[in-house]
Amino acid sequence: MDERLRTLDWSLVRAFLAVAEEGSLSAAARRLGASQPTLGRQVKAIEDALRARLFARHAKGLALTEMGEAILPAARAMARAMNDIRVAAAARETELTGSVRITASVNVAFTVVPPVIATARRRYPGVQIDLVPSDDSENLTFGDSDIAVRMYRPEQPDLITQFLGTFDIGLYAGREFLDRMGRPESVAEIFELDLVGYDTDRRILDGMIARGFPARRDMFATRCDDPLTQWELVAAGCGIGFAPCAMGDRDPRVDRVPLPFEIEGLPMWLTTSEAMRRTPRIRAIWDVLAAELGPGPSA
């Protein structure tokens, strides 16, 4: 056997698995909290060790080659085994020290999580916290995160969840934009003004279509998939856009645009694996998140 295979580093397998499941280096880098160049080097290293190409480029990212498909089940099995080791070691911990990795959507991580982490750090100074703002679904069972704040309820049987409440959404525009263009008083008047939305992400479009509006991508005069950059476009006066009320209501540059109907908020769920919540440091940070973000029934 080639010596490079005898000493194949788990970090290389982990990088391969993340890219395989996410479909791109950028998404995999966000999932692992690594830089894209580092991940690219790790993928090249495992391809060199195996002497085979594992990915082929296509218009939307990276697709597995035949060899990549062949090793994917073994990589997932290795990930589960590594997580089992991590869980077994964590279960024997008794002190509130070490690190806890939290993932949350970009908007949630920006608007409501930082004060909670500040509270957790004051209460448990021996615990370090990694916050990963990401709209991708990190895999808790593979150890990519310890705790996740999700905008949906995960269904995996080995995960536990707690409902935190609703993340309210509103419609906003820059004050200068509204003073210049006029303040809309109906849905029809809103659609006559410039709108700000996503580029490739269909969340806003699908939500509008579900409400019966004939929404199309070209209705949005300015588009960006990064939520925080999109918000800056709204605040700068590019048009009207949706945003979390926790962010929009505290920004003096904007005003909320009234609607004749309520916008359904997004549910927030706290999630971790059942085994990891028994770890003292993770249970402690879980309890702070649950209390500060809004307690709900455990499940």
How far is it, in rounded angstroms, from Cα 159 to Cα 83? 14
d(CA 94, CA 166): 34
Q: What pLDDT was estimated at residue 67? A: 92
Averaged pLDDT of the chain:
85
Greater pLDDT, 212 or 299: 212
Please tell me whether the overall predicted TM-score, pTM, comes out greater than 0.75 for this model.
no
Query: Is pLDDT above 70 for 5?
Result: no
Stretch 229-239: mean pLDDT? 96
pLDDT above 90 (res 274): no
Q: Which residues lie across from 170 on neighbouring strands?
A: 243
Structure-model confidence comparison of residues 81 and 258, the more confident one: 258
Q: Which of 22, 268, 291, 4 is nearest to 148 (CA)?
A: 268
Residues contacting residue 79 through CB under 8 Å, at least 6 positions apart = 13, 14, 17, 139, 142, 143
- Arithmetic mean of pLDDT, 46-66: 87
**142 pLDDT exceeds 60?**
no
